[in-house]
A and B are shown apart, each in its own frame.
Chain A
Amino acid sequence: MDSRDITQSLARITAGDRQAIDLLFPAVYDELRRIAQRMMRREPANATLEATALVHEAYSALVDQTQARFESRAHFLSVASQALRRILIDAARRRSSLKRGGDRQRITLGGIHAGESESQKALDLLELDDRLRELQEDHPERARVVEMRFYGGMTHEEIAAVLGTTTRTVERYWAFARAWLFQQIEEGRSDPQRQRAPSSLQVVVS
């Protein structure tokens, strides 16, 4: 898929053709993964992978800038958010299965600890993903706001452009979705029965 094809599918998405997303998705996914890995290599220690920086880099790599307008850029970012979500979930799954293998011992070298960071303990990405799927069933648009903001680092204006609504609505959607997810995850924590079903670990995406 070359730059022209990408720009074309983007135009179709912007015009409301949801199927075109499936055409664009694989290219964006690959590009993001490539950029992310390069970033990790360049600066593994203090890699603060900025989602915003990532998707914008992918955008400038894939899309012919002269053709694109604000809306189509926003649509691209929304596809990138989906792709980024997928990348992160895939990585988290792999990591999770590695951990279950139990061969990761805490070894230090060069003053750096290979281990879990605080933020990881605080939030399980896989669980969040499951809950987000549940939210999607009843409130698909609100779930998309989470996807675009949390994974894609998009602004409320950009999200509003994709959803064809106002930023005020986006803010309301975000407030609700965040409260809903928080409530679900909190309840899940106090009730072990409701913790993530092991079946989702089985899915391996190569």
Chain B
Amino acid sequence: MNRSRQLRAAEIFDECCELDPAQRDARLAEVAIADAELKRDVEKLLEAHANAGSFLDEGAAAYASQEMAGSLEATLAGTRIGPYRLVRELGRGGMGVVYLAERSDDQFELQVALKLIQDRFHQEAFQMFQRERQLLANLKHPHIARLLDGGISNDDRPYLVMEYVNGQPIDEHCQNRDLSVQERIHLFLQACDAVEHAHQNLVVHRDLKPGNILVDREGGIKLLDFGIAKVIDPASSEDTTNTVAPRMTPRYASPEQVSGASVTTLADVYSLGVVLYELLTGRSPYGESTSSRVKLEHAITRGELPRASFMARAVLARSASGGNSGNDEAPSDSSHGMARRFLSLPGALRRDLDMILWRALAVESKDRYASARDFADDLRACLEHRPIRARAPSLRDVATRFARRNPVATLASLLAVLGLLAGFLISHRARLQEEIQRERAEELFRSSLELNTSLFTRYVDRIKELPGSSRLTVDMIQELVTSLELLHQQAPEDSTTAYQLGNAYFQLGDALSNPNRANLGDQQAGLVAYEKARHVAERLHAKAPDDERHPSLYALVLDRIGQWHLSRGEFDESMEVLRQAWSVLQDGPESDATSRVSKTILVRLGRVAGLRGNHTTALEYLQEALPRAQDRFAATRLLHDHLAVADTHLAITSCYLNLERYEDALTEMDVNVEIVESICAKDPDNAAFVSALAMGLEVRARAFRALEEPELAKDDLLRALDLLDELRMADPDNRQLLLLAANVTFGLGECNELSAESFDESDEDVRFSVEEARSWFEQCQQLCEEMIRRGAQSQEQEYVARCREKILRCDRRLRVLAESLDEPAQ
């Protein structure tokens, strides 16, 4: 391009940038008449303009740090620090730069790692540094890189000289060599031994992470930077404040380091736990929370980490569901491989490892292993199939640990305060009335109660969805009911208060006994609450049937009463109440709320019809409900409404199962599971969603079983079981979860029975399958007995009987098998 064309091209480019595409084409066509080549040049530039993306947007700043690092390094290489000559940079971290260095006054060649700290020291810090340095220099262990020397450079920066380790971080090493779980643990044990040795010598590492746990050329562990965190950041080690210096990543830090409490050797135990967890599952125990510091710190101090098995399954599930290849959160091949490997361990070993990690990663340091040695001992025990010390958490453990850490606990204390306020108001009412004018007192009383009510209402909705909140939800609603009853007494004609009261009774009934929500499993108390709600709602509805809130509340209450009868097998009573609900809705005004409730009633009617054996009628009800649910979701896009769509598919499935249309059932369940999975992905902490997923998987497994696909059924059931384990850890009183777990274990038993039938009779595999079936039935029986202890139900009694029968059958088969196995041996 000659110069004048260059300039013309720039001018035309400028012009074109201001024009819209049509005008631009016209302008370029005009240019082409005079100079076709000029047009092409401008077009190319416009194309480059369009394709340039973020080219140069970032500014040289992004490159500057790299380049400056290079230039700084170039200046320092060859520099002498004390008796050492810097050779080249090895790496840099939050505290400073590490160089490979040589001792320049020595006859023999000694290569060392020299860490030049970035901050200059104060005088007292320097003395502390000298003392600590001496202590560290005394630390001698084959798996600890020794501190050789240290001092202050000419420009007043402290430096430390350490044994130079030519090695690889433990996680990379395990990944590159593709080590087995057992090999990984053996390697990790060396690190535990080294940490134990240091602890014996009163040195805490404070910054254990894979990058500090190297594997050298000989395949042995070398721990770097022992005690350096304290030496370098003396201010931070003055026990209380700022223990995790802001420049360190807290990914491996213990809760006490993050919260700034005092740090002991137990902090290292925790960090070791995080490292092992990652080595075994391929993922951080904090999952995606590692993406931001704030989230991570929250996750660390909150605790309640998913069991390693659960995380491993999640890794597999995620990579199985594919996801977009561009997604950075998708697990890499290596973590996928690790997760698979971990899951393929024998069940007992895997459960032991879950327990061991659970113990090492306790939020409260006193709940952890008392030392790195105890941690290592348990790991050795589990590798050698000896019993481990970290016992399974009892429900009580879980409950107390939970109460300490869960946000629910914070809300519980709030509840106590509000309860006190209400109590104070009630008991001092009379005094208040005497002391202040009566009218004023009543006003004050009323407004305080109203405040109380609105606070409760707001928090109840929030906590309902937290796992483990059943008990608290009930307590809170009961408080709310007390406030509202008082208000209602004062002004019985006020329909808003009456409505709120009816609604509160209804919520209380749900929290006590609704089998589709987290609930306390108190059936009688639940019915009492529902009946109270019915009483209030009936009167409201009679008084003002045109208020659209009234028919929907009334119908919903009737729906729950119908459900209550249903759960006791009282189909006729249930049908009657539900029909009544339906007529309330048909007669009343139409609104969003009523159409939503109609859908609920239709689903319920379908269920009752199904249970009475009228599956075709049931299917009709449900197929009428489905589009309503879908419309609702299309309008709101709320996750709850999406879940309602999934629930309808679930109900339709149960009709198909009963009509023995198994292929149709499977199609419906695939839709259900897909929807619920997508909901869970959006809100993984929501207990209601996760339990819906467990339920969906359980029902889909039924379809698989019916289609004689026991292996596919088992996959779903095991996944459901893991989800349930997690949920039950947080919410041990929840009856719905117990029942679901019973269904799942029973299903697993039946799957194994089914696989036993598909093997050749003489095969050893048959015995395994039958044994496994037996143990699942046993677990199911235990779960049912547990439920019966909490209030016997006909359904569970029947279940227990079925389990016993199944167990007997397994025993018979095992005897037969044992005999046939013995025969050839004789």
Contacts and interface: CB of A to CB of B under 8 A. Distances in A.
Interface string B71-100: 110110000000000001111111011100
Interface in A164-201: 172, 175-176, 178-183, 186
Contacts of A88: 60, 63-64, 67
Given A42-B118, A150-B60, A153-B59, A92 B67 contact: yes
B52 A109 contact: no
B287 interface: no
A178 B66 contact: no
A172 B15 CA distance: 9
Contact of A178 (B55, B65, B74, B94): B55
B118 A110 contact: no
A111 interface: yes
Interface in B46-75: 46-49, 51-52, 55-56, 58-72, 74-75
A44 B51 contact: no
B10 A151 contact: no
B644 to A, nearest CB: 45
A142 interface: yes
A2 interface: no
Nearest to B210: A111
Contacts of A1: none
B74 A149 contact: no
A119 B17 CA distance: 29
Interface in A42-90: 42-52, 54, 84-85, 87-88, 90
B72 A48 contact: no
> Chain B's interface: helix, strand, loop or mixed, by majority?
helix
A110 B211 contact: yes
A125 interface: yes
Given A41-B118, A43-B247, A91 B67 contact: yes
A50 to B, nearest CB: 5
A54 B118 CA distance: 19
A49 B52 contact: no
Contact of A150 (B59, B72, B90, B225): B59
B272 to A, nearest CB: 16
B71 A95 contact: yes
B91 A109 contact: yes
Interface in A125-184: 125, 138-139, 142, 146, 149-151, 153, 172, 175-176, 178-183
A68 to B, nearest CB: 24
B91 A98 contact: no
Contacts of A203: none
Contact of B46 (A47, A179, A186): A179
Interface string B1-45: 001001100100110010000000000000000000000000011
Contact of A37 (B45, B72, B98): B72
Contact of A45 (B74, B88, B94, B212): B94
Contact of A176 (B45, B60, B67, B91): B45
A139 B224 CA distance: 55
Candidate in B17, B71, B247 with the most chain A CB atoms within 10 angstroms = B71
A95 B70 contact: yes
A44 B63 contact: no
Interface in B198-229: 209-212, 224-225
Contact of B59 (A47, A91, A142, A149): A149
B68 A40 contact: yes
Given A51-B59, A107-B90, A98 B65 contact: no
B802 to A, nearest CB: 56
B462 to A, nearest CB: 37
Nearest to A45: B94
Nearest to B113: A109
A94 interface: yes
Given A41-B118, A182-B48, A85 B60 contact: yes
B168 interface: yes
A45 B56 CA distance: 23
Contacts of B3: 138
Contact of A44 (B14, B88, B97): B97
Contacts of B90: 107, 109, 114
16 contacts: A36-B64, A37-B71, A40-B65, A40-B72, A88-B60, A110-B98, A113-B91, A125-B60, A138-B3, A138-B7, A146-B56, A151-B59, A172-B14, A178-B56, A179-B48, A183-B44
Interface of B: 3, 6-7, 10, 13-14, 17, 44-49, 51-52, 55-56, 58-72, 74-75, 88-94, 96-98, 113, 118-119, 165-166, 168-169, 172, 209-212, 224-225, 247
